Amino acid sequence: MASTSRMQAEAAHQNQVICGFRLQAEEFETSMPSDVVAIYPGSFDPLTNGHVDIIQRGSRLFDRIIVGVLLNLEKSPLFTVPERVAIARDVFKPWHNVEVDTFDGLLVDFAHKKHATVIVRGLRAVSDFEFELQMALMNRRLRPEVETVFMMPAEPYTYVSSRLVKEVVALGGSVHGLVPDVVEGRLREKKLARETLRA
């Protein structure tokens, strides 16, 4: 008799454990977002094939990826924000899950507004790491639910930066293959316009 009631008690306990576990699993499932949305923030002045490479990788990992063009930043950018947005929209038109938007203020607040739980950043070399680590940890402190994910570009783009692209073009060099064709064309136009102004 005693052993039957002990067995019953054990069964009830097992049931409690299993039901409790099931409940936790259900709560977990309902609290998980159905779509994983990622933000890829930056100045994109101009967009390079390094950026495109990272977005392409991100678009395979996440349900949606939003290219977030930062509004303030540099005092004298080469491309205006509307130009940068138009270029990015043009380049990413073929990808159904890539969007382009602008933001200012805190990146994590923009992520929250967009229901994004991931921030994507590109890592080219060790030199990127220190700053990126600080930023990721600060963003985690501000909004712990937003995770930063780092991605490496394909090797040919590990030395490409927007700043270097602008310098090479200004000095008359070619950036063919390092930026999307539309950017190459726009860079040429900008250079011509500047030279005409100077002449």
One symbol per residue from 23 to 42: x for binding ligand ADP (CB under 6 A), - otherwise; what is it? Answer: -------------------x
* Interacting residues with ligand ADP between 83 and 122 (CB under 6 A): 121-122
Whether the Cβ atoms of residue 23 and residue 91 lie closer than 8 Å to each other:
no
Active site residue 176: no
Neighbouring-strand partners of residue 41: 68
Whether the Cβ atoms of residue 160 and residue 178 lie closer than 8 Å to each other:
yes
Identify which range of 50-58, 85-93, 104-112, 189-197 contacts ligand ADP by CB under 6 A.
Answer: 50-58
Q: Given 3-state DSSP classes, what are the helix, strand and coil percentages for the chain, each rounded to the nearest 5?
A: 55, 15, 30
Neighbouring-strand partners of residue 37: 64
Residue nearer to ligand ADP on the CB measure, 51 or 186: 51
Number of residues counted as binding ligand ADP (CB under 6 A): 16
Active site residue 140: no
Residue 54 sits in the site that holds ligand ADP (CB under 6 A): yes
The correct pick among 39, 43, 59, 67 for binding ligand ADP (CB under 6 A) is 43
Residue 161 sits in the site that holds ligand ADP (CB under 6 A): yes
The correct pick among 62, 139, 157, 175 for binding ligand ADP (CB under 6 A) is 157
Whether the Cβ atoms of residue 38 and residue 170 lie closer than 8 Å to each other:
no
Who contacts 173 (Cβ-Cβ below 8 Å, separation ≥6)? Answer: none
The values of phi and psi at residue 35, to 5°, are: -110, 135
Which of these is catalytic: 64, 84, 121, 162? 162
Residue corresponding to tokens 């008359």? 172
Identify which range of 11-19, 49-57, 103-111, 185-193 contacts ligand ADP by CB under 6 A.
Answer: 49-57
Instruction: Tell me the residue type at 72.
Output: N
Neighbouring-strand partners of residue 68: 41, 101
Residue 166 sits in the site that holds ligand ADP (CB under 6 A): no
Whether the Cβ atoms of residue 148 and residue 141 lie closer than 8 Å to each other:
no
Q: Write down the least CB distance from residue 31 to ligand ADP, Å.
A: 29
Active site residue 188: no
- Cα–Cα dist 110/113, whole Å: 5
Where do contacts with ligand ADP occur on this chain (CB under 6 A)?
A: 42-44, 48, 50-51, 54, 121-122, 124, 128, 153, 157, 160-162
| Catalytic residue list | 51, 75, 124, 162
